[in-house]
Chains A and B, each alone.
Chain A
Amino acid sequence: QKEVEQNSGPLSVPEGAIASLNCTYSDRGSQSFFWYRQYSGKSPELIMFIYSNGDKEDGRFTAQLNKASQYVSLLIRDSQPSDSATYLCAVTGSARQLTFGSGTQLTVLP
């Protein structure tokens, strides 16, 4: 079983819609959770992090964490074509290491 699982997609949403990206993790001891955005051919960019159960909002992005269900999600409101990218979920492991999922490819259609 993979430690961090994401639906690889591709996920397509129309411009202006809400994009919902999901991630599950296997290590119940994980404490910190991160979302990175990666444009094709580029390096990942940290866009959100969440440490506590519940929601955390930053502009059009909302991260949601449910530790009991070992589930973290990223909502993108008013999706724009510029949001088209691969979104990587990462969770903390042991010894200050991040474990990454394989990413979900999002396409926002104009």
Chain B
Amino acid sequence: DGGITQSPKYLFRKEGQNVTLSCEQNLNHDAMYWYRQDPGQGLRLIYYSQIVNDFQKGDIAEGYSVSREKKESFPLTVTSAQKNPTAFYLCASAREDKAYEQYFGPGTRLTVT
């Protein structure tokens, strides 16, 4: 089955801890994206990557970091510098020639207390 997987589905952390969210895809997509969604709000772009070993900041990159060492994987680290990390985190991927037609993984719901 082709698709995008995110793990874990739910994640709980104490304030001050860094946490890494996993995103893997086997769709052979070049582009990958991280969004966060807060209750009653749309998606906001954190980081995106169009090619291995390259990534760009989105609208709300502060307090987050990413890596793209493999085409299939785009992990997101939520650092202790992120002031309001509790949110629903969504990873998406797209073909390079259809970068706007993005397909989403199931998401990770992060709660920091």
6 smallest CB-CB distances across A and B, nearest first, come from A100-B42, A43-B104, A96-B99, A100-B43, A102-B42, A43-B107
How many residues on the B side are at the interface (Cβ–Cβ under 8 A)? Answer: 22
Of all chain A residues, the one with the shortest Cβ separation from B91 is A43
Inter-chain contacts of B31 with A (CB < 8 A): 96
How many residues on the A side are at the interface (Cβ–Cβ under 8 A)? Answer: 21
Inter-chain contacts of A4 with B (CB < 8 A): 42
Of all chain A residues, the one with the shortest Cβ separation from B43 is A100
The stretch that binds B, out of A12-20, A44-52, A58-66, A74-82, is A44-52
Q: Which of B56, B100, B105, B107 contacts A98 (CB 8 A)?
A: B100
Residues of A at under 8 Å CB distance from B? 4, 8, 32, 34, 42-46, 49, 88, 90, 92, 95-98, 100-103
Q: Are A8 and B102 in contact (CB under 8 A)?
A: no
9 A-B contacts, Cβ less than 8 Å apart?
A: A4-B42, A34-B100, A42-B107, A43-B106, A44-B104, A46-B101, A96-B48, A96-B100, A103-B40
